[in-house]
Amino acid sequence: MQDPTADRLDPVATTARMTAALRARESERPDRLFDDPLAATLAGDTGRELAERAGEVQAIPVRTRFFDDLLLRVTAGDDAPRQLVVLAAGMDSRAYRLPLPTTVLYEVDRPELLRLKESLLGDAPVRCARRVPVGADLAADWQAGLLAAGFRPGEAACWLVEGLTQYLEEQDVLRLLDRITELSAPGSHLLTDFVAGSLFHDSAARPMLSLLERSGAGWRYGTDEPEPLFTERGWRPETVSYAVVGRALGRWPRADTRGGDLVHAVR
């Protein structure tokens, strides 16, 4: 059956539905790394079709579980940040599935994508203190919308930028980090990921890269040394490769593939 929402999103935004489909696939496994009961609804036919074409993508469940665990740890405790900003929130469902009872969760993404998500989920209850959608173009002035929605730059925050940087040009990645830094009080946390620059030349990754290119959402940026991006801006980063995390979770069959890095930085 034709997905009635298939033509409403641009190619990069549509990858959010593929990610949801991959999370739904993981949630069906008996040895699943997480349970995302809303993922199948958020994926729709569009996401399922893309996921079928992509095949096995182990990075998505590894990344999801890593950030789930880290978010629960970072937001715990009396002195933890009470603001969580998910940039390029896409079809992320953490506001609905993670226990974040004292956290205000801001979801920043294009208005049409956030409207689609809300139409799909209806009145599904959130598990955070409050979910605040912020419709904005991350390539433009998204900070103004976030501030208008109630974000307090004088207080520590936790930022999640998941699965985004590979779709940006290098100068846009640097600009994004600059803007996050400007809004981050001491004690803030930044969680993000980068694909490895070497992955662009990995023959095993070529089918996935070709699929994204044909769909208009080709990868543009990767790095094998993400740490300077943070230290130069006053953050203290800890990095771990997808391969290390994936092997620990039993989801990384190719020992010779690094994949990229998962980053947790503190200001």
Q: Which amino acid is at 259?
A: G
Identify the residue with better confidence: 205 or 182.
182
Domain assignment of residue 5, yes or no: no
Domain assignment of residue 84, yes or no: yes
Domain assignment of residue 251, yes or no: yes
Residue with tokens 């930085």: 265
Sign, CA torsion 11/17/19/21: negative
What CA–CA distance (Å, rounded) separates 228 from 236? 10
CATH of the domain at 139: 3.40.50.150
Q: What is the pLDDT of residues 160-174, one digit of tens each?
A: 999 999 989 999 999
Domain assignment of residue 245, yes or no: yes
Structure tokens at 53: 């074409």
Domain assignment of residue 232, yes or no: yes
The pLDDT-based confidence of 9 (bands split at 50, 70, 90) is low
Choice among 108-117, 158-167, 203-212 with the minimum mean pLDDT: 203-212
Our count of domains for the chain comes to 1
Distances (CA, A) of 37 to 26, 48, 78, 121, 267: 11, 15, 29, 11, 34
Domain assignment of residue 116, yes or no: yes
Has residue 67 got a pLDDT over 70? Answer: yes
Domain assignment of residue 3, yes or no: no
Domain assignment of residue 50, yes or no: yes
Q: Which amino acid is at 47?
A: G
| Percent of the chain scoring above 90 in pLDDT | 73
What CA–CA distance (Å, rounded) separates 201 from 143? 35
Structural domain boundaries enclosing 15: 11-266
Identify the residue with better confidence: 201 or 25.
25
Mean pLDDT of the chain: 90
